[in-house]
Structure formats: C-alpha cells, structure tokens
Structure 1
Amino acid sequence: MMKSLRWGILGAANFAEKHMGPAIHAAKGAELVALATSSPEKAAGFQAFAPGIQVHDGYDALLADPAIDAVYIPLPNHMHVEWSLKAMAAGKHVLCEKPMTLAEAEFDQLIAARDAAGVLAAEAYMIVHHPQFIRARELVQGGAIGTLVHVDAAFSFFNDDARNIRNQPAAGGGGLRDIGVYTFGSARFVSGEEPLAVPYAKLRFDNDVDIFAQVAADFPSFSYAAMVSIRMFPRQEITFHGDKGVLRLTCPYNANVFDAAVLTMTTDGQTVTTERWPGVNQYVLQVENFCQSVQTGAAYPCPLEFSRGTQKMIDMVFAAGGRPA
C-alpha cells in the first residue's frame, strides 16, 4: 500500500480552514499533519477537524520539518512566488493558491525551481479537477455543439472591505487576479486554445485595484467576451456557443457553494441534455490528483505551464486596459 502524502499548510487563512484544510484531511492518499501560524486562536479552527495537527509558529519552521512531504500555500498573492520557491528549495511538493504569480515572467523561476528540485509544484486551480469541466471539454472538443464560435463568461461578487486583501494593491489584490483566472482559464481549458489578442478591455479601479473588467479576446477559432467584478451582485456562468448547439455551466467556479454544478446542452431540434454533479467536492479531487501524481508519476491536470497561460492572458487584459500588470 502506497504511503500517504503528509501535508503542511503555510498560514491559517480562512479559506484554508473552511475548504482546503478539510479537503486535505478528507482526501485519499493525503494526511494533514502540520500548520504554520503564530495564532493559537487560528490554529484552533484546524484542530477542530484535525486534532493531531502539529502547529509550527513560523513558515520556515514548517518547511524545515522532515515529516512534511507537501505544502499548501494560501498566503496573500504577493507572497506566493517567494514561499513557493522556499518550499521547493526545502524539497517539498507545492500546491499554491491562485494566482501563483503576479506576472507571466515570474513563472520562469517557478518552473526552473520545480525541475531542479524534482518536485511537483502547481497552482491550486480546482475547477479543472471537477467533472463538469472535464465533461464540457469532452463535449466541446468532440464536436457535440459543432464548431465553437463564441464563448462568454461572467464572475462577480461584492466585497468593498478595505481590510480584505482583495482590496489591497500591495498584496496583489483586484478582481482579475482573484477571479479573472477562472473566466480566462476555463475557456482555455475547455477549448484547448490560447488567446491571440485582447483588442478590448475596459477596467475600473478603486484604491488602485481593479474592481470591474469587461474583456473581448480573439482565439484562433472563436471570439470571447467576459465580465469580472468584485463590486457586483454574485453571478457566475460560462457559455460555449457553437454552430450546432450551446453548452452552459451555470455554476462553474464555486460548485455546490454558490449553487449546484449543472451542465446544460441544447442542440439541433431543441434537444436539451442536462447533467448534474451533486456532492462533488472539487477541492478534495484536486488534492487526490496531486497526491496521485506525486505517488505514481501520473500527469497532473494543471501543471505550471497551463497556469502560466492564464497569467499571460491576465497580463494581456491589463495591457489592453491601459494598466500593465
């Protein structure tokens, strides 16, 4: 029987406590053994579902722990590259929250460090592990809606809390980095294509972070439109429109949190096919796929090279909107 991958978490972020910590604890092939935080109060939330977890009072102390095989990094965006590099240098496998970098060029050093250390390093991009996106890719690339002509995506929520890192420019905040990764990366994943150009991007800023983006992009075989905002009522969806049908995901990004994961496809003769995935936890699937890749050498669904492509598109949008990343 293969040994479980022993995980540590750098920082007691709320998202780590509510979602990724429990996912690591529940995943097959994984064992949550350590947390780095100097706050006993924050540690208590993790100890509630992982009573035996060891608490280190610093990030370096956790990385020095020989009992840890892999680390999950939920730190603020501007700290991702630094601590991913430190973790790889310590011989740990790395799963780092998105966006893993603040600019495409920063992926060079991450990829080089990954290859030099012989570890798996990846962005925590959970949606590509969910069966709704795997199915959408099969249908679109398999011709179920004919030739793909247009994709449109929307993702929004409301957060104007100045204390929140999403609204802090020094922490790499803003809507494009927080949720634009989903509207852009999901289109790339399903279509298998990369954007050629971003001819239009209208951006709005507040306290020097982008709070709204309206984007038009050209892909090799289809046009693309997206709306991203952290100052609008919650909404999320993505539509793939072909010449023979339309495929919609009505809860593509926060499946079973925002709403149920449902795929609807309408084709010739108004034939409607609906598929649902109740109870699927994409965070657990992400951890299990990561562990399997480490343990068996199987290809990981979201390598750094894929994440680099999404960051490149974010950089293109910033440039088109007159604000280089």
Structure 2
Amino acid sequence: MNPVRWGVLGAAKFAREHMAPAIHAAEGAELAALATSDPSKAAGFVAFCPGLKVHASYEALLQDPGIDAVYIPLPNHMHVEWTLKALAAGKHVLTEKPIAMRAREIDQIIAARDRTGLLAAEAYMIVHHPQWQRAKAWLEAGEIGTLMHVDAAFSFNLTEGGNIRNRPETGGGSLRDIGVYTFGSARFVTSAEPVDLSARIHREGGVDVFAQVAGIMEGPGGRFTYGSMTSMRMYNRQVVTFQGTNGMIRLEGGPFNANVNDLAEVELHQNGNRVTVERFATANHYKLQVETFGRTVREGTAYPCPLEFVRGTQVMMDRVYEVAVEI
C-alpha cells in the first residue's frame, strides 16, 4: 500500500525538532514537502530529509497534487483558517493543538471533515502513547476501585518575551498551550466531563501565565473531584494522579513530553503496598500518532482522538475562561 505523502505548513521549531522527524520515521508515511518563504529555515528539515520539496508559500503546498496530508504547526490563531483551507484543497490534515480558540470554531471543521470525507484531527499526541492507554485500561478494569479524585500539574518557565506563547494576538497563554493536556488527559482516561468548574488565573502581558482549576467531573464510574494547575512561570513539573478507593495511578516525570524531560512510566499503587511500574523507554508518541493517522487514511480504521473529543476539551477550556477569577 502506498505511503501517505505529507507536507508541513511552516518551518516551526517544534515541527523541525519533533513532528517532521516523526513523519520521516513513521511506517506508512513519507515526508515529501515543506512550505516556507525563508529558504534558511528549510535547511534544518533538508538536513535529515534531503529529498524534501520546498514550496515558497502555504498555498503552493496545498496545490501540490503529490501531497496527501498536511501537518499544521502554525500559531494558534491561524489553525482554523489553514485547517479549512487544507480540507478545501483535498488534503487530510493534522493540526497542532489547540486546533481552535473556541469550541464553536471546531463545528465548522467537523462540518468540512464530514463534507469532504477527509480526516481532520488535532495533534493530541499523548492518547497514542502506551503509558496513557495503560492508565486508561487500569482504571476501566477497576484496579484502583472507585475513582474519587484526579489532579494534574504542568508547568515550565518561559521568559522569552517574543515567544508566541507570551503573545495574546497569537493565542498565547498557559491554558491554551498546556491546559489541553491537564484537561484532555483526565477526560481521555476517565471518559468523564466536567459538571462544575471554578478557576483562578494570573495574567502577564495579556496572557494567563498561571491557572488553577477545580471542579467536579462525571463519567461512567460516577462523580469525582478534579484539580489542575498550569503555569509558564514555574520550574518544570508534569504529574497526573488518579486516586481511587483502593489504589492510585500516577504518571510523573514526563507524561506529556514522554522521554524528553524524563522516562515515560506509569505507576499503579494498590492496597498492601503493592506497586506496579511500567516503563516505555522507546515509545515515540509523535511517530505513533503519524502511524495511526496513516492507518485511518489508508484503511479507514477509527481514529482514537476524533474532533468530537477535541471539542469537549475546548468546551471545558471555554468554561474555565468564563468562570475564572483574576488573581
């Protein structure tokens, strides 16, 4: 079966360091083209993919008949526009998170996906990682009893003023950048949705650099309490805990940046001081994401993170902004 031929829309640093190499390495995928108006920015991509075709504009790449799918790592505020343009051009599309700034914007992407019959997805890579799949399987198997509480934290210290995460006009802020992880991971593992939320936010330069969220979520196993913290002004920290009546599942060290900040592993703590630890030293969730995307495109298999799931996380995000108290 022919590989999915990918084009990358924009020479973003993240694309150069993570996603483009993942596409290049993935089975059933071929990194075929890049769109950038700055030839010097293409050099880092061509270094590991010498046969890469470089287009001088985004439009030219979308018009390339040799491209099947497009990866979009553009600034947040440009995601909806170029996702819709890619679908209109007949390309499958994988767009960086958040795919939209508001939940209602995702509706038009869903409509375009359904109208064209193409695959459109947000690059929510963690659901493709075996550590998160294991956490979900343990919870659903009742390994920790009745779920009572979930808490999540994700922080890093970003002081670079010109970075798009620090700019309100490009959709910056800790919630849009990393809140999708603390919110989405809880929703993925528990299949639950929030029924009550409160939040406290601190802003600098027009973007939230700290957010603390608390609430109640409800899923197949009943109701449980939820808490999360995100910050772009704190030392690196990533941890998610699912606490039940008879045990606890914990992902710590690098659950969102697996094998970057620390070794990817998930722990199961149970009564009698029993601890089970599973480590995933070689799993690359970016590569796994590309391969899963490709199977859906080529074989029609169900995609594990459809836009409907993505919309649910954005609904939660929208609600947090609505109820947040400034501190």
TM-score in terms of structure 2 length: 0.97
In the alignment, what sits opposite 1:74? Answer: 73
What is the aligned counterpart of 2:295 among 292, 297, 308? Answer: 292
* Sequence identity percentage: 60
Give the Cα separation in 2 of the matches to 1:179 and 1:149.
24
Q: Do residues 264 (structure 1) and 267 (structure 2) align? A: yes
**1:36 alignment partner in structure 2:** 35
> How far off is 1:162 after superposition?
1.4
Q: Give me the whole-angstrom Cα distance separating, in 2, the residues matched to 1:135 and 1:70.
A: 29
Aligned to 1:111: 110
Task: Give a deviation string over 1:77-135, Cα, whole Å, max 9, x none.
Answer: 00000000000000000000000000011011000001111100000000000000000
Q: Does 1:309 align with 2:312?
A: yes
The question of whether the paired residues in 2 share the 8 Å contact of 1:10 and 1:72 is answered with yes
Q: Identify the match of residue 206 of structure 2 among 196, 205, 208.
A: 208
RMSD: 0.7
- The within-5 A match list for 1:96-245 is 96-198=95-197, 200-220=198-218, 221-245=223-247
Q: How far 1:161 moved relative to its partner?
A: 1.3
Q: Which amino acid aligns with 1:207?
A: G
State the SS of the aligned residue for 1:195.
strand
Instruction: State how 1:6-85 maps to structure 2 within 5 Å.
Output: 6-85=5-84
Please give the alpha-carbon distance, in whole angstroms, between the structure 1 residues aligned to 2:258 and 2:105: 30
Structure 1: any 5+ residue segments left out of the alignment?
A: none
**In the comparison of the two structures, how many residue pairs are matched?**
321
Q: CA deviation at 1:160?
A: 1.9
Gaps of 5+ in 2: none
Equivalent residue letter for 1:306: F
Aligned AA (1:157)? F
Following superposition, the deviation at residue 168 of structure 1 comes to 0.5
1:238 corresponds to which letter in structure 2? V
Provide the rounded CA distance (Å) in 2 between the counterparts of 1:320 and 1:275.
38
Aligned counterparts of 1:294 and 1:195: Cα–Cα separation in 2:
32
Q: Which amino acid aligns with 2:207?
A: V
In 2, Cα distance between the equivalents of 1:298 and 1:236? 32
SS of the residue corresponding to residue 101 of structure 1 reads coil
Deviation at 1:322?
4.6
Query: Hey, what's the Cα distance between the residues in 2 that align with 1:284 and 1:252?
Result: 16
Report the AA paired with residue 297 of structure 2. V
Following the alignment from structure 1 to structure 2, what is the Cα–Cα distance between the partners of residues 112 and 229? 34
Query: 1:262: how far off?
Result: 1.0
How far is the alpha carbon of 1:218 from its aligned partner? Answer: 0.8
Residue in 1 that maps onto 2:286: 283
AA aligned to 1:242 is G
Q: Residue 222 of structure 1: CA displacement?
A: 0.7
Q: Determine the C-alpha separation between the residues in 2 that align with 1:188 and 1:112.
A: 23
Give, in whole Å, the separation in 1 of the partners of 2:215 and 2:86: 36
- Please state how far the C-alpha of 1:268 moved relative to its aligned partner: 1.1
Q: Secondary structure at the match of 1:269?
A: coil
Aligned to 1:119, the other structure's residue is in SS state coil
Asked if the contact 1:5–1:70 (Cα under 8 Å) also holds between the matched residues in 2, the reply is yes
SS at match of 1:100: coil
- Work out the CA distance in 1 between the residues paired with 2:215 and 2:187: 12
Q: Runs of 4+ in structure 1 displaced over 6 angstroms?
A: none
Residue deviations 1:192-232, cap 9 Å, x none?
Answer: 1111121x201000011000001102112110000100010
Kindly provide the amino acid, as one letter, of the partner of residue 302 in structure 2.
A
Tell me if the contact between 1:197 and 1:316 (Cα under 8 Å) persists in the aligned partners: no
DSSP 3-state at the match of 1:49: coil
Name the structure 2 match of 1:274.
Answer: 277
- Tell me how far apart the structure 1 counterparts of residues 105 and 287 of structure 2 sit (CA, whole Å): 28
Partner SS state of residue 293, structure 2: helix
- Distance in 2 of aligned mates of 1:197 and 1:70: 38
Name the residue aligned to 2:249.
247
What secondary structure is seen at the aligned counterpart in 1 of 2:44? helix
